[in-house]
Structure 1
Amino acid sequence: ENEIESKPVPTLKQYFSPDWIIERNKCNDYSRLVCNQFHGLINNKENSIINSITTSLKPITSKDIHYPESKSTSLLIIDFILTLKEKNLLPCIVFSDNRLLCENMATSVAEYFENLEKNLRKTKYKDQIELLKERLETIKNAQKKIKSKKISKSSNKRNHEEENIVELEITEEEKHNQILLSGLEQQLLNGILDEGTLANRHGCDRELVDSLLERALWENPRLVGYMQRGVAYHHAGLNNKGRVAVEALFRNRYVQVVFSTATLGMYLTKCKMKTKTYFSFLS
């Protein structure tokens, strides 16, 4: 564009805008591009271009800087976690020296996924859920008819073979009911949707997960609800069953995000466990 052989340097917006998180090496790469461009200008004695750049450079004041719209801590942390998920940078530990902040951040992320799930049930999965309920109602009515037949036949003292046939019919209906409510359909009606959790439910030891959650439930119902969403908090004030559950489920990659004070860091160092992302949040 300026009759220079070197490739033009993209603007800051062009170079960095796709990224929500800017890594240091990318900043260094951009600095090298700019330096190389200036070296080219100097070596080629492009004095007019150099002078125009020097003239256009003005001191920047606070009035010239336009910051994006401010966001609350909870919204920022949700955006941060979603970005890590999108870039396959989970599991993650977010460190803070504030116990309450750790719990509040975990609450924000868990509630985000709860609300997302509720919205999906009202929109994306609404028709499927209504069809499921209709099918269940049909089965329920059919079972009532079969049971009433059985009572009627028994009261009339019909032969034993007929009663056995009725029993078989009821068993078949129950099996049919279970089939209809298996897998995704059961999840759609009463469970946690895949979109509503960060938990690695398909790559975990399900028996171990259920055992740990059940043990921690009585003393930590709120924390267990969070862990089912793949999120947890960890600090010295947490009771023993809660700490054990968080540590074990994070180590087994079921829980994907933990907001913690230094307590979890000491545990991870002790068991030599690695995680993809560490982030320190200053309170």
Structure 2
Amino acid sequence: MSYVLAHLSDIHLGPLPAVTTRQLLSKRLTGYINWHRSRAASMAGTALARITSAVAASGADHVAVTGDLTNLALEAEIRAAAIWLEELGDPHDVSVVPGNHDAYVQGALDKAFEAWSPWMAGDDGHAPKRNEAFPYVRRRGPLAIIGLSSAVATPLFVAAGRIEGEQARNLATVLAETGEQGLFRVVLIHHPPVRGATLPRKRLYGIKLFQNAVARHGAELVLHGHTHLAQRHWIGGPAGTRVPVIGVPAAGQGVGGSKPAGAYNLFEIESDGGKWRCHMREWSATTETGPLRLSDERTLWP
């Protein structure tokens, strides 16, 4: 029997709530200007509602959301994102990791961890409260869903992420344990763990640590967001294997912008005689109305 996983990312819930002058005395000022200059027009349409409706109707057993639920990480945005997550699905059936917009200023990520903890709680019942405590692990059907946090507050005009130290060591341990258990390991991370996948100021620091863990212990699938693009990369696994690294366009992106229209990916995963099969379909909101369009289809395993 197959297990179906849906993936969406970069929600950027709008419209922006009321913002005080004091809140704008930070990096938030440039984000506020950027929202009103470009993102309000491109992300305030019907794409997100259509995609979430399609995900609900897809029959997916689980939904993965890889960050940037907010724009400026305002408290009102973080609360609104929690409400949106409640509408998306039961915490048992939805897994979330944060993105750089959710850590837009110092202290914001702590509030997101608290508000979204039901969707980041591992099988032990505990949700990480700091990056060093990630990843969390959730066993769902044949899957081990492994959630990382690359979200860190950064200076003006920088949108980089970071995986280092304790979190990198924890990842290696978790990959080894879940691999020994014979699970299909799905790693969730906001920033793409691939060199050259995005601009230097938006890159992930710690790519080598991430890839070394995968090269040594293996993984079956890595899902990310951040770039707002339908990216397909491969990184090395043990014994010459290759691990797919899949990015998805921003779920709220409307038609006609500089980035691809909003989309979500659907992965059908099953075990066949001890060997994994994984088939992917990308569904896109490439028209203003009507059903989503199948925009990509491929087999990732074997």
TM-score range, shorter chain: under 0.3
> Greater helix share, 1 or 2?
1
Identify the structure with bigger relative contact order (alpha carbons < 8 Å, sequence gap 6+). Answer: 1
* TM value normalised by structure 1: 0.24
Q: Which has the larger radius of gyration?
A: 1
* TM value normalised by structure 2: 0.23
